[in-house]
Amino acid sequence: MNEVFELIAVEKLMPHENVDQEAADELHQKLLRENKWTNPLVVSREGLVILDGHHRFEIAKRLHLRRVPAYLIDYHSTSVELRKWGTDDDLDKQIVLDAAKTKQMFPPKSTHHTFPKTLRQTNISLSLLR
């Protein structure tokens, strides 16, 4: 997997899942306390579809951030896997791309992507993302 780290404009990102509002509220409070962004989103290069980080994306919108840290990856790489959350059932990656494009969102935590390596965390002040 050949990932590229960038600060991406929030308005360009395309989600494919809704979020659990209670979990988003908890994350919102955590980010406000820490005043830094530590866990970048993972986004497909093609179409800027969010693969990992829907709750973080929701918080970025709540905080009126202009951009967020993200890793851009080749979603079609065979090293990126997609499963139904909590199962070993493989899913077709095209359904994620279609959901984002048509704005027909999946329920929270429906899809689970795995990546071949751990992506580094960041330590970026929220003020730099506004």
Active-site residue flag, 17: yes
Q: Give exposure, 55-70, as e/b (b: 16+ Cβ within 10 Å).
A: bbbbbbeebebebbbb
CA-closest candidate to residue 56, choices 36, 83, 72, 82: 36
> Which member of 6, 11, 17, 58 is catalytic?
17
**Residues involved in catalysis:** 17
